[in-house]
Chain A
């Protein structure tokens, strides 16, 4: 994929209705792009899972599964990284403290609610993660995957 004159980044934008199932389309789209960019299969799987979790959260929590509300995914393509931003319309605000939890399976055994792994998975799988909230728009998570090029062997 060649760079345009003077442009150092290019952008793909997706707007999805807030219905569970649509996260699969965001996942497949991001994976297709990552394949074109030359990411390794392992990194592609990782970003697929991370974007799946982010979009699912946006659908279920941020937009309260209201199909009329949108999840906006922006994929920013740079030469050495892919930035994935997922934003909802903020019907329910994500508590920032929730984004730093470290769930443990032994704790989960004791609790009725076995969940809470999504955000933790995003942090574990992505190179950079930032959660924010913009009044007037909604919750946003910004994830970055670095594109590691294989070392060039010089003669």
Chain B
């Protein structure tokens, strides 16, 4: 009755697979996040954005899930970015070292623009 609920949405925008993570990211989020990543990867996504919404809770189990995603992103030659994180969780991402592997943007629009610039360079 007191379990966390995470809702995951997949959208595509300007060649980027946007995965909305709405709610808390804890151990209960594992299956949903992994499934979403697998789904977009199976369809050939090269640029992926995790867009956090209504989030004020990411715990160390959630961090471990995201590190798992980053492991696969690195192996598959994809690019991952995150947006919508509060300043506190941006700080946590930097402390843990995730920021080196997943670029942090304030908003979805900023992330999409950055991906577009990458795309034109490549």
Contact = CB atoms under 8 A, between A and B. Distances in A.
Helix, strand, loop or mixed for chain A's interface?
A: helix
A49 B59 CA distance: 7
Interface stretch (A5-13, A84-92, A116-124, A135-143): A116-124
Nearest to B68: A114
A129 B64 CA distance: 23
B2 A105 contact: no
Nearest to A27: B57
Helix, strand, loop or mixed for chain B's interface?
A: helix
A53 B57 CA distance: 11
A56 B61 CA distance: 10
Given A19-B2, A22-B2, A27-B57, A114 B26 contact: no
What bracket does the count of chain B residues touching chain A fall in? 20 to 34
A56 B59 contact: yes
A149 interface: no
Contact of B74 (A20, A21, A109): A109
Interface of B: 2-4, 24, 26-28, 57, 59-61, 63-65, 67-68, 70-71, 74, 86-88, 92, 95-98, 100-101
Interface of A: 19-24, 27, 42, 45-46, 49, 52-53, 56, 104-106, 108-109, 113-118, 121, 124
